[in-house]
Structure 1
């Protein structure tokens, strides 16, 4: 049931699903949206844990405080993907902004993203840089690229946006019948960016507009295996839209080896692909080579391919591990 339905159309629909996050975290997240300098929005909050009384009581309180809030009470837990789709399908805004129940949006987030989308009609998704807080803070570089081509090259490896930082042009979803793929309980955002990649441009504002909480409750911590499997499925499908079938058949060969890698590199030299995209494809192939091999590792360094990952030392380490660890399975596409 949807409560407090707004009659007037808002420019932005903010969508957030809550489950079992600490109540104080949920409050911080909600307040960070309600306190935005941009005020013309509706805030759709889906309660995906209806048996938790604290959720119901908290949302009831907020409904009385701010008329921009709508609450969807799921009858039972249906998961994040389906919950987000419920919110998207009732959204009245021109744009859809995502928010998570444990993160904090900075005050001018919605205004800056709205202004960008209004001024750049050919862009369909706009994210931002993020800062980290919470458990086990490490030093993270700015992994979110800015340029459309860079972002879509990143999709060969993983998601190119921080999910709770994005604003999406709603018309591209409804006009093309694209929603979160409910076959993916995890990595649903990665799948959405892959599905949207051919319909318009991507952009990341190079300014921190969201504080991203690190905690042991996150999907990547609790369901990492499923997320990795889904990531491989999405990666395979995305690469299949870029490369010809004969090259895809080589990559998917369970006996993928160094000679195959060299063959694919020769093809990439003649393909009309960006250097970053080609480099990312080569990196994925190194991780997919089936036979652990010191020869492959020597080639990685002697050919200069490792220079492509010089700014991401973790990727170099992953190639080394795939080549030398005797029981390590390759990251098959």
Structure 2
């Protein structure tokens, strides 16, 4: 049996699939199987896949398109013979040492269950840039309240999680990974490598680009994910705080209500702080993160006077040095 099973779903990726598969064949770590589902492609993806003769590559052909979640779950169902499972997207390119470095980290950190990495974003019409991610389990878990901190195509996890609820939910199409992390939070240990180990391709046919929902639907799904996360972490948020959090954590969702009162924003922050204090959990990172998201929300909604009022309130909680250091780190990580 292989040490690592890599799962890849393919749907009409003729321009990119050869680069993606070849980046796995070229890995410095060699003990792997690559399980590929051709999910009803109508271009030449399947014909290109069939040109590979490496016996470690296993191809499954869906006669019709079943969707990413179905394909991922079907591959997970036949992947438990390996100690580890990795994700790979059919339009991305893995760095040659990706598997080696992720495996070494897991071997040296036996408490870690799920591991991601930073990514290097590229595409025909964009300037390449690195997207860094929070590294510690605490920061990853708290970040889930505001954004998805695990880059899904870099996923590397221990296969025993398959017996502990690791599967994707069809109700969260386009958000399936985010919803899964929320379900697993506080029961398993997450980490990220600070080093980019994947070229993440941006183009018009990205899988997630096809999942653009109306804003209200997007907000509703986000709230359901946060409810699941909150339950796992014993956090009790009011309906109003959930609504506000959904709006301030997305530029797109901010148009739903551009005039949330400062009092309402502060009430949400205080509710988070009360919950973390009650649970005797450190709130420093999430506190700064939510303050940062409120500040960005006020900026993009052009509320100049409220920005000044909010900054004055913020200075009562944090030193200028703390704010500057955090904002610089956020710009590095998520710009």
What TM-score bracket applies, with the shorter chain setting the length?
Answer: 0.7 to 0.9
Any idea what SS the aligned residue of 2:107 has?
A: helix
Please give the per-residue CA displacement for 1:95-144, whole angstroms capped at 9, x wherever unaligned. 11000011111111111111111222211111112112213324645431
| Matching residue of 1:111 | 100
Report matched runs for 1:28-67 at 5 Å. Answer: 28-52=19-43, 54-62=44-52, 65-67=53-55
Pairing 1:248–2:238 present: yes
Asked if structure 2 preserves the Cα contact closer than 8 Å seen for 1:49 and 1:55, the reply is no
Aligned length: 301
Hey, what does 1:6 align to over in structure 2? Answer: none
Gaps of 5+ in 1: 1-8, 318-333
Q: Where does residue 142 of structure 2 map in the other structure?
A: 153
CA 1:252/1:157 → structure 2, altered by over 3 Å: closer, same or farther?
A: closer
Q: Given the alignment, which residue of 69, 73, 95 partners 1:81?
A: 69
Contact 1:190–1:231 (CA under 8 A) maintained in structure 2? no
| Residues 1:15 and 2:7 are matched in the alignment | yes
Does 2:324 match 1:300? no
Q: CA deviation at 1:26?
A: 0.3
What is the deviation of 1:193? Answer: 1.5
Aligned to 1:216: 204
Structure 2 length-normalised TM: 0.78
- Separation in structure 2 between the aligned mates of residue 286 and residue 242 of structure 1, nearest angstrom: 25
Matched, 1:259 2:268: no
Q: How far off its partner does 1:59 sit?
A: 2.1
Distance 1:288 1:78, change over 3 A: farther
- Deviation at 1:203? 1.2
Which piece of structure 1 moves more, 126-135 or 34-43? 126-135
**What is residue 190 of structure 1 aligned with on the other side?**
178
Contact residue 295 and residue 307 of structure 2 kept, 8 A? no
Equivalent residue in structure 1 for 2:287, among 261, 265, 278: 278
Aligned-residue CA RMSD in angstroms? Answer: 3.2
Q: CA deviation at 1:282?
A: 4.8
Alpha-carbon shift at residue 298 of structure 1 (Å): 3.7
TM-score by length of 1: 0.79
1:85–1:179 Cα contact (<8 Å) kept: yes
Query: Would the aligned equivalents of 2:12 and 2:42 in 1 still touch at CA under 8 Å?
Result: no
